[in-house]
């Protein structure tokens, strides 16, 4: 009798165990894990007043479109007052709106309208550096004793030349710029008009927290911390080994007391609001990334790791590398911490041109395939505006067409240093950030319906065929397919929290993986090649249900294999 009671107790225990498995951090539900973030580049999205530059009223006018995509969060690139050396990433007033984009009243209207529609707003916080036109810098450069002097990094010239620091956007690649007023150099990791702020100064940090309170009290839902892994510095400025700029993240990332500042920011600001936080950059190792985002660290919610998005060069990439990168980051964060998933942004060329195939007849299928990948991995997807239409690289041939400070200053560097200017232009046609910044293609009218004026950057001439209006009318469009994907993710926690396992790892054409959650198992199989390709599976798929397929042809299911057409993407629910 006793034995039977014991057996029943044991069975009951096992049952409860199965129903309520021990909670691991990565499986704890959070709204920001379930978010599908749609990134809007405001300058290029929609112009409401005919000045050729997108604006907040333009975004308001398209909120129904954004809502219809099935995304639930918008990340806006910087909309603060700025002289626009780097399109808003050089802020001259953090609590005002850039004139080109509208007014604070427009912002309030945007936020209210978004919240009424159930859309959350994440704002860019650009505080590794400010604009050189910010009041802080204007004061700082006046004298060595100015109260704002220590808001920036200065090196007195009587100490000789400062140790070399590489600048990402400088025409000489030199991050120290001499300023004669005080006979000193200031530090700028980005352009000379983006001096780095000195996080080591408590007063500066307090200014930033006040800015964050200002926006959080307006009711925004999150902050994206621009270039934040670089914010803290070793202010003894030690010399770095020759050639260090080839892996500058190792030298610039996670320096000094960065984690201390983040914990302070969490305590002073983030913990007081229901806001999410995401860092651009995740350091150099898994450990760096965990130290930023593990919940018990009380720093940030998630980070962008760059390894996957950095794989594609102007010469392409290897699919097996992409598979390995996603798989290894997933496994390192399977239990603790959380990551962003992305392969495109305003900082890279277009998704379909870099990771897919934008030539006919493959553009549509490969664009859908890439959306499938981004929406079915574990982590919060950040999806860049226009990719739902399969927008592709414009591939400018002349330097005069470019607007991006990085591309233009890089050209000056090549010219001044005897580089091969034509080779530079050929490479930039594939890789420049301006490829992703051409105006959003709304319809086949003049300027793709983006503006009634002259657009600040050329519209991609393919807009007559590739635009939102045309895609609304075509049931097989990339746009409609994207909506199916977001619906699937919104309705299935499996796609958010489910375990990820790579299958047929060495297959160089097909990227296939399973997601598993509460006894359910799905297979996602993506043929990244122009050839019909076979993928081998360690389980049977014959009685699976096809949940989504980007092509009219059915996938050919063998018992332990699946055969896919060129750029075919399928999501299968496996029999239990
Ligand atoms: C980040 C932004 C990029 C900007 C840079 C400097 O990398 O994403 O657009 O140019 O920081 O702010």
| List 62, 280, 434, 565, catalytic entry | 280
Mean pLDDT score of the chain, rounded to an integer?
A: 96
Read off the pLDDT of residues 496-532 as tens digits, 9 standing for 90 and up.
Answer: 999 999 999 999 999 999 999 999 999 999 999 999 9
| Omega within 30 of 0 (cis) for the link into 361 | yes
What is the model's pTM?
0.95
Shortest-distance Cα residue to atom 4 of ligand 1: 89
Q: Which of 190, 303, 410 is the best mutation target for the ligand 1 pocket, counting ligand atoms within 8 Å of the beta carbon and taking the most?
A: 190
Torsion angles phi and psi, residue 97, rounded to 5: -100, 140
d(CA 31, CA 511): 28
Give pLDDT tens digits for 349-400.
Answer: 999 999 999 999 999 999 999 999 999 999 999 999 999 999 999 999 999 9
User: Ligand 1: distance of its center to the CA of 253 in Å?
Assistant: 15
Residue tagged active-site, from 62, 86, 90, 226: 226
For 221-260, the pLDDT digits (tens) are 999 999 999 999 999 999 999 999 999 999 999 999 999 9
Determine whether the shortest distance from the Cβ of 125 to ligand 1 is under 6 A: no
Pairing of strands 37-40, 380-384: parallel
Q: Which atom of ligand 1 is nearest to the CA of 126?
A: 12
φ/ψ of residue 378, rounded to 5? -80, 140
Residue found by looking up tokens 């320096």 in the block:
255
- For a substitution probing ligand 1, which of 75, 86, 175, 188 has the most ligand atoms within 8 Å of its CB? 86
Pocket lining: 227 vs ligand 1, CB cutoff 6 Å: yes
Distance of alpha carbon 574 from alpha carbon 563, whole angstroms: 16
Q: What is the pLDDT of residues 156-181, one digit of tens each?
A: 999 999 999 999 999 999 999 999 99
Cα distance between residue 283 and residue 291, in whole Å: 10
pLDDT at 13 over 50: no
**Residue 273, SS3 per DSSP:** coil
CA distance 74 to 111: 10
Return all residues near 572 (Cβ < 8 A) that are at least 6 apart: 522, 523, 524, 525, 541, 544, 545, 546, 547, 555, 557, 562
pLDDT at residue 11 above 80?
Answer: no
In whole angstroms, give the CA distance from residue 141 to residue 123: 29
Are 5 and 22 contacting, i.e. CB atoms less than 8 angstroms apart? Answer: no
The whole-angstrom separation of Cα 375 and Cα 68 is: 16
**Distance in angstroms (rounded) separating the CA atoms of residues 66 and 74:** 9
When computed from its CA atoms, the radius of gyration of the chain, rounded to whole angstroms, is 25
Domain boundaries, the chain: 499-573
CA of 128 from ligand 1 middle (Å) equals: 10
> Residue 1 pLDDT more than 90?
no
Q: What are the strands of the beta sheet with 556-557, ordered from one edge?
A: 533-536, 561-564, 556-557
- Assigned architecture for domain 499-573: Sandwich (2.60)
Confidence (pLDDT) at 455:
98
Q: H or E stretch including 43?
A: helix 42-45
Is residue 226 part of the annotated active site? The answer reads yes
Report which DSSP code applies to 417.
Answer: T
Does 90 contact ligand 1 (Cβ within 6 A)? no
**299 classed as catalytic:** no
**DSSP 3-state of 357:** coil
Model confidence at 8: pLDDT above 80: no
């Amino acid at each position: 009798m006793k034995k039977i009671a014991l057996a029943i107790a044991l069975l009951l225990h096992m049952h409860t165990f199965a129903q309520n498995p021990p909670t691991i951090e990565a499986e704890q539900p959070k709204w920001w894990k379930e978010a599908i973030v749609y990134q809007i580049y405001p300058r290029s999205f929609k112009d409401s007043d005919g000045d050729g530059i997108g604006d907040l009223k333009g975004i308001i006018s398209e909120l129904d479109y954004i809502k219809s995509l099935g995304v639930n969060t918008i990340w806006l690139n910087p909309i603060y007052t700025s002289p626009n050396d780097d399109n808003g990433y050089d802020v001259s007033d953090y609590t005002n709106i850039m004139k080109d984009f509208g007014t604070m009243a427009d912002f309030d209207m945007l936020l209210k309208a978004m919240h009424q529609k159930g859309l959350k707003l994440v704002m860019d916080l650009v505080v590794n550096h400010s604009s050189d036109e910010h009041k802080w810098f204007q004061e700082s450069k006046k004298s060595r004793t100015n109260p704002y002097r220590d808001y920036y990094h200065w090196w007195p010239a009587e100490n000789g030349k400062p140790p070399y620091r590489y600048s990402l956007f400088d025409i000489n690649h030199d991050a120290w710029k001499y300023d004669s007023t005080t006979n000193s150099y200031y530090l700028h990791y980005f352009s000379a008009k983006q001096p780095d702020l000195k996080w080591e100064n408590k007063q500066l940090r307090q200014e930033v927290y006040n800015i964050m309170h200002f926006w959080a009290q307006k009711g925004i839902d999150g902050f994206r911390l621009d270039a934040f892994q670089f914010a803290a510095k070793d202010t003894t400025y030690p010399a770095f080994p020759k050639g260090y700029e080839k892996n500058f993240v190792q030298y610039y990332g996670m320096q000094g007391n960065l984690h201390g500042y983040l914990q302070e920011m969490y305590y002073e600001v983030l913990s007081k609001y229901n806001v999410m936080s995401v860092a651009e950059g995740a350091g150099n190792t898994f450990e760096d990334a965990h130290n930023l985002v593990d919940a018990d660290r009380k720093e940030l919610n998630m980070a962008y790791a760059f390894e996957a998005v950095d794989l594609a060069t102007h010469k392409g990439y290897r699919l097996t590398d992409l598979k390995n990168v996603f798989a290894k980051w997933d496994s390192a964060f399977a239990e603790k911490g959380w990551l962003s998933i992305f392969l495109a942004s305003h900082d890279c060329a277009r998704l379909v041109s870099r990771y897919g195939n934008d030539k006919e007849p493959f553009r549509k299928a490969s664009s859908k395939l890439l959306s499938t990948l981004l929406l079915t991995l574990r982590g919060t997807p950040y999806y860049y505006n226009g990719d739902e239409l399969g927008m592709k690289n414009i591939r400018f041939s002349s330097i005069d067409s470019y607007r991006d400070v990085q591309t233009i200053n890089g050209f000056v560097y090549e010219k001044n240093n005897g580089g091969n200017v034509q080779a530079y232009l050929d490479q930039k046609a594939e890789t420049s950030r301006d490829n992703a910044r051409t105006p959003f293609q709304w319809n086949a009218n003049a300027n793709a319906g983006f503006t009634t004026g002259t657009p600040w950057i050329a519209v991609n001439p393919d807009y007559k065929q590739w635009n939102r209006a045309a895609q609304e009318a075509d049931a097989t469009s990339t746009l409609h397919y994207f909506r199916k994907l977001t619906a699937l993710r919104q309705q299935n926690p499996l796609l958010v929290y489910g375990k990820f396992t790579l299958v047929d790892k060495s297959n160089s054409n097909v990227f296939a993986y399973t997601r598993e959650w509460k006894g359910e198992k799905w297979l996602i199989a993506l043929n990244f090649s122009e050839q019909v390709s076979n993928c081998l599976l360690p389980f049977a798929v014959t009685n699976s249900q096809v949940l989504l397929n980007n092509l009219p042809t059915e996938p050919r299911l063998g018992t332990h294999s699946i055969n896919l057409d060129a750029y075919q993407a399928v999501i299968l629910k496996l029999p239990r």
